[in-house]
Chains A and B, each alone.
Chain A
Amino acid sequence: MDQSHIRNFCIIAHIDHGKSTLADRLLEYTGTISKREMAEQVLDQMDLEREKGITIKAQAVRMRYTAKDGKDYELNLIDTPGHVDFSYEVSRSLAACEGALLVVDATQGIEAQTLANLYLAVEADLAIIPVINKIDLPSAEPEKVAKEIEDVIGLPGEEVVLASAKEGIGTQDILEAVVRQVPPPRGSTSNTLRALVFDSKYDAYKGVIAYVRVMDGTISRNDRIRMMQTESTTDVLEVGYFSPTLVAVNQLTAGEVGYIATGWKTVKDCQVGDTVTLSAAPATEPLAGYRPAKPMVYAGIFPIEGDDYPLLRDALDRLKLNDASLVYEPESSVALGFGFRCGFLGLLHMEIIQERLEREYGLDILMTAPSVEYRITRTNGETLFIHNPAELPPPTEIEQIEEPMMDISIFTPARYIGTIMDLVASHRGVFRDMKYIEEDRVHLTYRMPLGEMIVDFYDQLKSRTQGYASLDYTFADYEPSKLVKLDILVNGQSVDALSMMIHQDKAQSQGRALTERLKELIPRQLFEVPIQAAIGSHIIARETVKAMRKNVLAKCYGGDITRKRKLLEKQKEGKKRMKRVGSVEIPQEAFMAILSLGGE
Chain B
Amino acid sequence: MNIEEPERQETLLDTISLYLHIPFCHAKCHYCDFNSYAGMLGLREQYVAALLDEIALAGERTRLPDGSPRRCRTIFFGGGTPSLLTAEQVAAILAASRAAFALDAEAEITLEANPGTLEYGHLDELYAAGVNRLSMGAQSFDAGLLRWMGRIHTPAEIETAFAAGRAAGFEQINLDFIYALPGQSLATWRETLTKAIALAPDHLSLYSLIVEEGTPLNTWVQQGRVRPADEDTAADMYELAEQMLADAGYGHYEISNWARAGHECQHNLTYWHNLPYLGLGAGAHGWYGAHRYSEARPIRDYIARVRETVRSAKTGDQTTALPALPAAAVVEDEAISHTLEMSETAFVGLRLSEGIDRRAFAARFGQDFEQVFGPRLTAVRAAGLLDESATHVRLSERGRLLGNEVFTCLLLEDEEAGATA
Contact = CB atoms under 8 A, between A and B. Distances in A.
Interface of A: 524, 526-527, 546, 548-562, 564-565, 568-569, 571-572, 575, 583
Interface of B: 19, 21, 34, 78, 205, 207-208, 210, 231-232, 234-235, 238, 255-256, 270-271, 274, 277, 279, 284-287, 292, 294, 334, 343-344, 347-348, 379-380, 383, 385, 400-405, 407-408, 411
A569 B19 contact: no
Interface of A is mostly: loop
A272 to B, nearest CB: 49
Contacts of B403: 551-553
Contacts of A571: 404, 408
Given A555-B207, A558-B34, 10 more contacts: A546-B232, A550-B231, A550-B234, A552-B255, A554-B256, A559-B277, A559-B285, A565-B343, A565-B344, A583-B379
Contact of B238 (A550, A560, A562, A575): A550
A565 B279 CA distance: 18
A552 B19 contact: no
B366 to A, nearest CB: 22
List the 3 shortest-distance A-B pairs measured between CB atoms, nearest first: A552-B403, A549-B235, A526-B383
A554 B402 contact: no
Contact of A561 (B348, B379, B402): B348
15 contacts: A527-B383, A548-B402, A549-B401, A551-B403, A551-B405, A558-B279, A559-B19, A559-B277, A559-B279, A559-B286, A561-B344, A562-B294, A565-B347, A568-B407, A575-B408
Given A554-B210, A565-B411, A526 B285 contact: no
A575 B409 CA distance: 11
A550 to B, nearest CB: 4
Nearest to A574: B408
Given A565-B411, A572-B411, A551 B380 contact: no
Nearest to B345: A561
A569 B270 CA distance: 23
Which among B271, B286, B294 has the greatest number of chain A C-beta atoms within 10 A? B271
Interface of B is mostly: mixed
B405 A548 contact: yes
A126 B292 CA distance: 76
B379 A562 contact: no
Contact of B411 (A554, A560, A562, A569): A569
B381 to A, nearest CB: 11
B235 A550 contact: yes
B207 A550 contact: no
Contact of B287 (A548, A554, A561, A568): A561
A548 B379 CA distance: 14
B231 A548 contact: yes
Which among B235, B380, B400 has the greatest number of chain A C-beta atoms within 10 A? B235
Which among A554, A565, A568, A583 has the greatest number of chain B C-beta atoms within 10 A? A554
B19 A558 contact: yes
A554 B286 CA distance: 20
B231 A568 contact: no
B413 to A, nearest CB: 10
A558 B411 contact: no
Contacts of B347: 564-565, 568
B404 A568 contact: yes
Contact of B404 (A549, A553, A557, A559): A553
Contacts of A560: 285, 294
Contacts of B379: 526, 583
B271 A551 contact: no
B78 A557 contact: yes
A562 B287 CA distance: 10
A550 B256 contact: no
A555 B256 contact: yes
Nearest to A565: B344
Contacts of B256: 554-555
A550 B401 contact: yes
B411 A550 contact: no
Contacts of A553: 210, 403-404
A548 B403 CA distance: 11
A571 B402 CA distance: 13
Contacts of B407: 568
Nearest to B340: A565
A550 B208 CA distance: 10
Nearest to B239: A549
B231 A552 contact: no
B231 A558 contact: no
Contacts of B292: 561-562
A120 B286 CA distance: 74
Contacts of B405: 526, 548, 551
Contacts of A526: 379-380, 383, 385, 402, 405
Contacts of A555: 205, 207, 210, 256
Given A551-B402, A558-B21, A524 B408 contact: no
A558 B380 CA distance: 29
Given A548-B405, A549-B232, A568-B411, A558 B284 contact: yes
A561 B379 CA distance: 25
B111 to A, nearest CB: 14
Contacts of B271: 556, 559, 561
B404 A558 contact: no
